[in-house]
Structure formats: C-alpha cells, structure tokens
Amino acid sequence: MNQISVQELAQRLSSGDASIQLVDVREPQELEIASIEGFVNLPLSQFTEWGDQVPNLFNPQAETLVLCHHGIRSAQMCQWLIAQGFTNVQNISGGIDAYSVLVDHSIPQY
C-alpha cells in the first residue's frame, strides 16, 4: 500500500485538485476535536452502515487519500478499498496527529 506524508498531503490540499477523494475513518467525537476540511467521514466502527455505499460514493480509479489519528485505521481502510478494486489509494502516514505537529499547529492534538 502506498503512503503519503502529511507534508505531501498539505501540498495536495493547497493545489486545489478537486479530483482527489479524501476519506477520514475516525470517530465523530474525534472529528469534533480535530479535522481537516474536505474529508468525508466514514467511521470504521460504523462500517456496516456505509460499507456497501462506497462504490456509489467514490470513483475506484480516482486518487483516494485516507486519514485517521495515527495511520493504523486508515491503513486498514486502504487495504479494504484496494480489495474492493480501488486502484490509487494512499494512506496518510502519521495521521492527523502528525499533520497537527508538522503542518498545521492550529489543529488540536488529542
């Protein structure tokens, strides 16, 4: 599975590329603490509620970047997306925690 650094994520976000699909697999209470604009929230704990909708929500050929707190849950999601036929999936290494430390200090750590 491919990885993208939080610095690369920041560059991609600032480019304004609307073709990138952004998925955040953290829980709603985590998003209340810290989030990055533009990400679609699909909490892993609610997989049974959204799992069958993924092919309708996202383009399997488009670049898909997946975020969580540290990069573990997002790696699981990346593996699942690849198994569903997604061809360009990247895990955001270090998650939102690394993003808040290395890129945007205004995002709270938790």
pTM (2 d.p.): 0.96
Nearest to 60 by CA among 85, 91, 24: 85
Per-residue confidence (pLDDT) for residue 101, from 0 to 100: 98
Q: How far apart are CA 16 and CA 51, in angstroms?
A: 28
- pLDDT per residue rounded down to tens, the chain (110 residues): 899 999 999 999 999 899 999 999 999 999 999 999 999 999 999 999 999 999 899 999 999 999 999 999 999 999 999 999 999 999 999 999 999 999 999 999 99
Let me know if residue 52 belongs to a domain.
yes
107 within some domain: no
Q: Give the residue numbers spanning the domain of 40.
A: 2-102
Question: Burial, 20: exposed, middle or buried (Cβ in 10 Å; 0-12, 13-18, 19+)?
Answer: middle
Task: Tell me, yes or no, if 68 is annotated catalytic.
Answer: yes
The CATH code of the domain that includes 94 is 3.40.250.10
Number of domains in the chain: 1
**Is 108 part of any domain?**
no
**Of the listed 9, 22, 68, 92, which one is catalytic?**
68
What is the per-residue pLDDT for 1? 82
Task: Write down the H helix ranges in the chain.
Answer: 6-15, 28-33, 47-50, 54-57, 72-83, 95-102
